[in-house]
């Protein structure tokens, strides 16, 4: 921080076309990247497009790539970063303007899941659940839908399989549904055929990107994948399941 100044290189432009524009702005103690962006917006370039809401890592609005790393802007401190600080939108998604990308796929995917394989309570549910019964589900419910895991996952980012793979965030959502003690649906077939769960090859990049520290791969994806594999690729267990029934 030379002379109390920080240098930002911010991607400015529309629909993928743009440049990194340099801004030198005053440093303030405790400054996070989002502060820098909002400073630029209010003092230098009023039309700088950026999403944010809570400024406290609770809403998942402010995801971007900071020095190449998918991060929440409101949680990333300026003093921990190498300068110039390069800020660009999440690249896995189509670009709209400046730091805003088109994440409408998220709502479409979630909505599709809800309509096809949504929460489906048991007919005789008595709604008595213990804390330990919902412990797993609670971890998945901490998801703030920031999209950082989706931005990171190579299946979406490099291979652009948005039409075939629901990605780590929505596998986490599926894991919540599957572990809800009052739920009665079986989603394994859907996860295999529509959700594309087998595209995931357990690289764990999503887990590293998650600001909520959800163990996406270990706790959500792997158990689901194992059950899918059991159900569809293991003939002996398949028969056993037919005889003994049960969800798991």
> Using CB under 6 A as the criterion, which residues of the chain lie in contact with ligand FES when the complex forms?
52-55, 57-62, 72, 74
Q: Could you tell me which of 53, 57, 134, 51 has the C-alpha nearest to residue 98?
A: 51
**Pair of tokens at residue 68:** 């190449």
Count of alpha carbons within 13 angstroms of residue 140, beta-carbon side: 22
Binding residue for another protein, selected from 1, 16, 104, 202, defined by CB under 8 A: 104
Dmax of the chain from CA atoms? 74
Count of alpha carbons within 13 angstroms of residue 179, beta-carbon side: 22
CB atoms within 10 A of CB 218: 12
| 107 is a site residue for ligand SF4 (CB under 6 A) | no
Q: Is 32 exposed, middle or buried (0-12, 13-18, 19+ CB in 10 A)?
A: buried
**Which of ligand SF4, ligand FES, another protein, none interacts with 49 (beta carbon under 5 to 8 A by kind)?**
another protein
Q: Which residues contact 70 (CB under 8 A, 6 or more apart)?
A: 63, 64, 90, 148, 151, 152, 209
**Total residues contacting another protein (rule CB under 8 A)?**
62
| 81 is a site residue for another protein (CB under 8 A) | no
Residues in contact with ligand SF4, shown as a per-residue x/- string from 168 to 207 under the rule CB under 6 A: xx--x---------------------------xxxxxxx-
- Segments of the chain assigned E as strands: 5-14, 17-26, 63-66, 69-72, 85-88, 95-97, 100-101
Kindly tell me which of 76 and 217 has the beta carbon lying closer to ligand FES: 76
Of 3-11, 141-149, 153-161, 230-238: span binding another protein (CB under 8 A): 141-149
Count of alpha carbons within 13 angstroms of residue 10, beta-carbon side: 27
**Which of ligand FES, another protein, ligand SF4, none interacts with 72 (beta carbon under 5 to 8 A by kind)?**
ligand FES
Looking up tokens 């209010």, which residue turns up? Answer: 42
Respond yes or no on whether the N-terminal peptide bond of residue 84 is cis (omega within 30° of 0): yes
| 146 is a site residue for ligand SF4 (CB under 6 A) | yes
**Which residues, numbered 209-248, are part of the site for another protein (CB under 8 A)?**
none
Kindly tell me which of 48 and 174 has the beta carbon lying closer to ligand SF4: 174
Which residues of the shown chain bind ligand SF4 in the complex (CB under 6 A)? Answer: 60, 143-149, 152-153, 155, 168-169, 172, 200-206, 209-212, 214, 216-217, 221
Which residues of the shown chain bind another protein in the complex (CB under 8 A)? Answer: 14, 28-32, 34-35, 41-43, 46-61, 74-75, 77, 96-98, 100, 102-104, 106-107, 110-111, 114-115, 118-119, 121, 125, 127-131, 133-134, 137-138, 141-142, 144-145, 177, 180
């Amino acid at each position: 921080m030379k002379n109390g100044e920080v240098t930002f290189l911010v991607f400015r432009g529309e629909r993928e076309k743009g440049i990194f524009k340099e801004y030198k702005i005053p440093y303030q103690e405790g400054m996070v990247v989002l502060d820098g962006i909002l400073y630029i917006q209010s003092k230098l370039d009023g039309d700088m497009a950026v999403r944010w809401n809570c400024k406290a890592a609770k809403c998942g609005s402010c995801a971007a790539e900071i020095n190449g790393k998918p991060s929440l802007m409101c949680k990333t401190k300026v003093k921990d970063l190498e300068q110039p600080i390069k800020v660009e939108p999440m690249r896995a998604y189509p670009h709209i303007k400046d730091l805003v990308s088109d994440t409408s796929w998220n709502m479409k995917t979630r909505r599709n899941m809800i309509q096809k394989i949504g929460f489906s309570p048991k007919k005789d549910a008595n709604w008595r659940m213990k804390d330990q019964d919902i412990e797993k589900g609670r971890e998945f419910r901490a998801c703030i839908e920031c999209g950082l895991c989706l931005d990171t996952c190579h299946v979406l980012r490099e291979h652009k399989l948005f039409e075939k793979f629901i990605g780590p965030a929505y596998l986490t959502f599926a894991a919540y549904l599957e572990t809800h003690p009052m739920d009665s649906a079986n989603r394994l077939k859907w996860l295999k055929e529509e959700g594309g769960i087998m595209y995931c090859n357990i690289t764990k990049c999503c887990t590293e990107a998650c600001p909520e520290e959800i163990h996406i791969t270990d706790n959500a994806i792997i158990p689901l994948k194992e059950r899918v594999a059991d159900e569809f690729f293991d003939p002996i267990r398949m028969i056993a399941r037919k005889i003994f029934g049960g969800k798991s």
